[in-house]
Amino acid sequence: MIPTSYPDAQEIARLSARMLLEIQAVHFNADEPFTLASGLLSPTYIDCRKLISYPRIRSTLMDFLTVTVMRNAGFEAFDNIAGGETAGIPFAALVAERMALPMTYVRKKPKGYGRNARIEGAMSEGERVLLVEDLTTDGGSKLSFVDAIRDTGARCAHTAVIFYYGIFPETEKTLGDHGVNLHYLCTWWDVLAEARSQGSFDKATLDGVESFLNDPRAWQAARN
C-alpha cells in the first residue's frame, strides 16, 4: 500500500529517533569511543540493520521513508528502487513494495564470476532509479553505487536513507556535485534531542556526544 498522509518532517524525525532509541540501535560512549570503518574514533554508533527484526517499527519507518521521498521528489519520480549491498537491500525491498515498483540491488564490487555483474535484477536504460541505503555519513560510499547504476544507462539522481549523520557539512555538497539529492528521516541532532527528552543516557554522556557533534573533526583529531 502506498502511504500518502503522514506527519510533517519534524515529527517524522522525532519519532524516527525515538524508535531507534527504543530498540537500542543507538550507542553513546564518550569515555570509550567506537572505531569507525574509517579508523577514526566516535562517541556515537548506530546500527540500523537491527530495524529488520522489529516489524512494527520497521513498517512505520518504511512508510515514513516512502512518503518522505514522494513528498520531496514526486509521486511518479521513479521506475526502479535499488538497494546498496548489504544493509540497503531489505529496506529497498520494503520501499519498492510500498511504491509498487521493481527492486534491484547493487553490489559493492563485481562478483568475480558468471556475468561479473554489479547490478542484480532487471534495470533498463533510461530508468529513473532511487538508491536506498540504511544510513550515510559523508556521502562518499554512495557514489560508487550511483556510478554502477548509471553505467547501465539508467539515471540515479536521488538516494534515500533512514539515518543521516548530519554533522559533516561536505556531505550534501559531495552528493550534489555528483548530481544526487539526499532524503533522510533523522540525524544525530534529532537522536540527541530525543535522548535528552527521554533521559536515555546520563547527562555527562550526552554532553560528551554534543561536544563531538559540534566539531567532529576536532574531537577526532584530539583522540587519534
pLDDT tens sequence across 38-50: 677 899 999 999 9
Per-residue model confidence (pLDDT) at position 113: 66
Smallest CA-to-CA distance from 42 within 195, 203, 168, 160 is with 168
Residue 102 sits at the vertex; the CA angle it makes with 185 and 71, to the nearest 5 degrees, is 35
Q: Give the model's pLDDT for residue 222.
A: 86
DSSP E strands: which ranges in the chain? 26-28, 34-35, 41-42, 44-46, 80-84, 103-106, 119-120, 128-136, 155-164, 181-186
**Could you tell me which residues are beta bridge partners of residue 119?**
106
State residue 110's pLDDT score: 81
47 CB neighbour count, 10 Å cutoff: 16
Binding residue numbers for orotate:
137
Residues 176-195 have pLDDT tens digits of: 999 999 999 999 999 999 99
Q: Grid coordinates 519520480 are at which residue?
A: 77
- Residues annotated as binding site? 107-108, 111, 133-141
Taking residues 169-180, report their average pLDDT: 93
Distance of CA 69 to the CA centre of its chain: 12
Can you say which residues are annotated as belonging to the binding site for 5-phospho-alpha-D-ribose 1-diphosphate?
107-108, 111, 133-141
Confidence of residue 114 (pLDDT cuts 50, 70, 90): low
Residues 52-65, mean pLDDT to the nearest whole number: 97
pLDDT given for residue 79 in this prediction:
98
pTM of this prediction? 0.94
Average pLDDT, whole number, for the chain? 93
Q: Which domains does the chain have, with CATH numbers?
A: 9-210 (3.40.50.2020)
E strand or H helix that includes residue 11: helix 9-22
- The percentage of the chain sitting over the pLDDT mark of 70, rounded to a whole number, equals 95
State the cell numbers at 19: 524508535
Contact 81, 97 (CB under 8 A): no
Q: Which pLDDT value is given to residue 31?
A: 87
